[in-house]
Structure 1
Amino acid sequence: MCKQIPVLDLGISKNYPRQIKSDFSHQLTGEVKESVYLKEKAYFLQRGGSSEIIVDNEDAGFYIPKKRELWFRDLFGKEEKNINDIYDYEPVADGKEGWRVYVNENAYGSPVRSAVYKLVGEGKSVVSWNTEILTDGNYEIYIYSPVGGISKTIKVQRDPYALAKLKYMQYYTVKSGVNVYSAELNVRERTLDSWFLLGQFYLEKGKLSIELSDKGSEIDQIIQGDAVKIVYVSK
């Protein structure tokens, strides 16, 4: 018996990464044969409903301190660009480069599945997701953290007991009108879903900013930022 995992090859469409594994699978016995499945466009776009706002690190509402010299849209311009100048396929996080961007099939986004990352720092470097809230009310905010993450460049020896208790805390600030909320998240407490609930907050109509600092809880920690989701709950 073998397990078949469907793979979508995006060919020359300029989606990144080029191949994306499906999250559905089935058991087959005997010889494995090629299969064709019909899936709606929304299956691959990962977009939420009308009561949700999603801001990805590839969206205009995302701020990163050190802007990349080449952006994804430049690939469609007249000048030939190299995708490797924009995204990391092999992450490099030695603390010297600041925030960087890597491509991963488990990251959120379309046409590019990417996330930003940085070696843990002192909390002085911040990235942020920015959007507009149309109605005052209570909202849940979710953080997307790609399954698997990225490997660490600093190796710390830990005994099994300490490893079992290990936490990778990430620290956020939510700014809405006169309200400023502090929140923290242990991204090591992973479920089957890549969306982590940061908390429920009262948000005012107008500008909303969700900040992630490079502060962490372990010296070998990689801080990651991908997408945020804001879901309306009640007035």
Structure 2
Amino acid sequence: MDFLKQDKRPLYLKIKEHIENLIEQEIYKAGDKLPSETTFAKKLDVSRASLREALRVLEKEGKIIKSQGVGTFVSKPIPRFKKGIEELFSVTDTIKNEGFTPGTKGLDIKKEQADKSLAAKMKLKKNKKILKIERIRTADEKPVVFCIDYLNHNLFPIDSESDFKHSIFDLLENKYNLNIKYAFAEIIPVTANHLLIDKLNVKKNAPILCLEQMHYDNQERLFLFSKNYFRSDQFQFKVLRKR
């Protein structure tokens, strides 16, 4: 391919990046078998030696798997973030701890009246308003979590002018002296609908992990109900079970 020849980097690196792009675009999906070296090299108009070196690096990085006598296959993506679900964590801290830069996009804050279902979940009286915060959390500018948070601002004087671009936990603890004690969590596997496709930049029906949590403070007050949609190719949750 002409564009490979125009790039001044070592050829195997250009081939490697091109194959990564083909995988990213799902031209070759997880589990797909790649063409034979001869066919692939001819298709890319490169030497088999350069292609072989590119495939060697991709295999070392875990992006492809070679099976002797069978062929070369695209690996399933390895999650970048692996968390114990027993730990109450903020998305911001999780991203930071893995060496990435956390960010926020699409921040939308508004006060709205809780519907019947939400009012029941948050133990609110009829017609009470809550603060709804929607935002996309990013790692090195890549969308990884879509967050919907419902704050019971009737418990403390928080308002829509507060800084919600970073950790809500840090904001509540440091600015509003709220002592976060624990949360009840439920993991719900879902597939990407039109909203999540747009927010998380994923394909239709991509697997998503929805983490629903009810957060309580040290006075046993339910102050936050959250629905966080995690890209399953980026996050993996674990739990320690004992007998």
TM-score range relative to shorter protein:
under 0.3
Structure with larger RCO (C-alpha < 8 A, sep 6+)? 1
More helix by share: 2
TM-score between both structures, scaled by the size of structure 1: 0.22
TM-score between both structures, scaled by the size of structure 2: 0.21
Q: Which has the larger radius of gyration?
A: 2
